Structure 1
Amino acid sequence: MSLELSFSPDTQLTEMMRLRVQSLQQRGQKRQDGERLLKSNEHVYRLDFSQQTLNFSHWNIHLPTPGRLNIIATSQLWTPDLTHLMTRQLLEPTGLFWRTNEDKTIQCYEADAQEFGERIAELATVRKVMYFLFAFEEGLGPESVECSIAFQSSK
């Protein structure tokens, strides 16, 4: 059975992380050792798993204009309501997708995208939700990008 899950923007968490950056700047403080601060072109998204036993199938990415989208997953160790995001909690590889003016099709590094999808499916076995940083580059923004991931259910 096929299952397609859409990434949902977590505007509240994105705002909370932006306030952390702003607070540090206002007080002239530095980030904690290893802390990963949200960059201005990054937004937090979440993926809610309705099933836990999944096999990665494919990505569904829609970029209406040329640009780059880098999707960075966080590991199961990050609890955004309790802890700051640490760089060691970011998974490799990331999902890098792009579109150029000359080519209307979405490009990606296929092996990385495949491995990234498989890692997400692995984490789904122990997670009900996962958080992601979406980095929008070269003219893309959160208002125009549609992104989902498809799995085959193992049940």
Structure 2
Amino acid sequence: MDTGNAPSNTLMLEFKEDPSLTEMMRHRASSLLRSGQKRQDGERLLLPHEAVYRLDFHNQELNFCRWFFSLAAHGRVTITGICQLWTPDLTYLMTRQLLDPIGSFWRNAEDPEESPLKWLEADMQEFGERIAALAKVRRVMYFLFAFKEAAEAANLSCSLEFTLDK
């Protein structure tokens, strides 16, 4: 991950896992499974290879610059933005609250470990711009991170660089 000397009008925000929200969402899925109940119509349950991450916006006047991500080893990580604000009673995650496009980056198993990660540049650019737009009306934003093809959270570093509106 590049943490070079950024100009003073830039801001780096790192995605942070939200373990308590991830655990509450896992509990919802497991309690439905144990009780034999079905999810609500349109409800999106957390899958075992997913976790909830968050970005906290201390400054809300931001313009997206670029992504910084690193993934040790190989695998695929997808990031889906969530447009809902959670309340302490944990409103259920509904599929209509998931944003497009998603961010996705990966390194194939046959790629050397020092090879650069691959990503869909146009989608990642649009996704970053969408996050900056939502930051203007949010103090926090949540994301679903899905770890596939042997990717693990412990091997991931992911952040965004923004410039500050004057």
TM superposition score normalised by structure 2: 0.90
Segment drifting more, 101-110 vs 61-70: 101-110
CA–CA distance in 1 between the matches of 2:34 and 2:119? Answer: 38
What's the secondary structure of 2:78's corresponding residue?
strand
SS at match of 2:154: coil
SS of the residue 2:153 aligns to: coil
Question: Shift in Å at residue 80 of structure 1?
Answer: 4.8
Q: Residue 46 of structure 1: which of 46, 49, 54 is its match? A: 54
1:62 alignment partner, SS class: strand
Match for residue 122 of structure 1? Answer: 133
Q: C-alpha separation between the residues in 2 aligned to 1:110 and 1:144?
A: 22
Q: Is the 8 A contact 2:85 2:141 kept in 1?
A: no
**Paired position in structure 1 for 2:160:** 149
Tell me, in whole angstroms, the C-alpha distance in 2 between the residues paired with 1:80 and 1:25. 24
1:81 aligned residue: 88
Cα separation, partners in 2 of 1:146 and 1:47, compared to 1, 3 Å: same
Unpaired segments of 5 or more residues in structure 1? Answer: none
Q: Deviations over 1:73-118 (max 9, x none)?
A: 001x332533100000000000001112325101110100000000
Q: The residue matched to 2:155 in structure 1 has which SS?
A: coil
Identical columns (%): 53
State the alpha-carbon separation in 1 of the partners of residues 152 and 75 from structure 2.
Answer: 9
Distance 1:32 1:86 in 2: 9
What is the CA RMSD across the aligned residues, in angstroms? 1.0
User: 1:58 matched to which residue of 2?
Assistant: 66
TM-score (norm 1): 0.96
- 2:58 and 2:85 map into 1 onto residues whose CA distance is 20
Moved more, 78-87 or 108-117: 78-87
User: What is the CA–CA distance in structure 2 between the aligned matches of 1:68 and 1:145, rounded to whole Å?
Assistant: 10
- How many equivalent residue pairs? 154
Q: How far apart are the structure 1 equivalents of 2:155 and 2:118?
A: 17
Match of 1:143, SS? helix
Larger radius of gyration: 2
